[in-house]
Amino acid sequence: MHCPFCRHADSRVVDSRTSDDGSSIRRRRQCPQCSRRFTTVETASLSVVKRSGATEPFSREKIVNGVRKACQGRPVSEDDLALLAQRVEELIRSTGSAELDAYEIGLTILGPLRDLDEVAYLRFASVYQAFDSLDDFEAAITVLRAEHEGSAAPEAAAPPTAAAGDVGPGEPSEPSPAR
């Protein structure tokens, strides 16, 4: 790996440390030319399988772009969106999967988005889960209300099964069977 300071073509590892949860390794490196030190982080690559069958690397930017529209006009900052994407990545990595389909990523977005902004969540869920009637909205709102009342509602506001789809609004999938 080349030096980020002087671009020297090589560097040597002076220390390696595994993160507490074992999901990454940090390496402290030193450049033999300018002697400056820098850190690299090594994690398993995460792949997303698209509906077409093609795979692409997981991207936080795509998560942000996928929810940005749902957050329009809401008190949600770019920092909030970046944090949301980080949480989604952490949730996905915590499952231990190295590869998952875009639909699963959409489901993973729902929880953190609900915590961030409920209106944005309803917008995203309505497109993502293809709400097609007032009943669907009512059911989703009922779940939110139940949580407000403190009754530990199950995490399963999301439909148990559905066809794989691409992340984000604009690519609706099967109507939610969770009525």
Q: Please, which residue, 5 or 172, has the CB nearer to Zn ion? A: 5
Q: How far is the CB of 37 from Zn ion (least distance, A)?
A: 9
* Contact predicate 177/159, CB 8 Å: yes
Tell me the pairing of strands 55-57 and 37-43.
unpaired
Output 11 or 126, the one with its CB closest to Zn ion: 11
Give min distance, CB of 3 to Zn ion, in A. 3
DSSP string, 14-79: EEEEE-TTSSEEEEEEE-TTT--EEEEEEE---EEE-TTS-EEE--HHHHHHHHHGGGTTSS--HH
Tell me the longest C-alpha to C-alpha distance in the chain. 66
* Min dist. Cβ of residue 160 to Zn ion (A): 53
Rg of the chain over all Cα atoms, to the nearest angstrom: 20
Q: Cβ closer to Zn ion: 30 or 65? A: 30
Contact positions vs Zn ion (CB under 5 A): 3, 5-6, 8, 31, 33-34
**Could you report how far apart the first and last alpha carbons of the chain are, in Å?**
53
What is the closest distance, in whole angstroms, from the C-beta atom of residue 8 to Zn ion in the complex? 4
- Output 6 or 44, the one with its CB closest to Zn ion: 6
Return the number of the residue (5 or 40) whose C-beta is nearest Zn ion: 5
Q: Residue 36 CB, nearest distance to Zn ion (Å)? A: 5
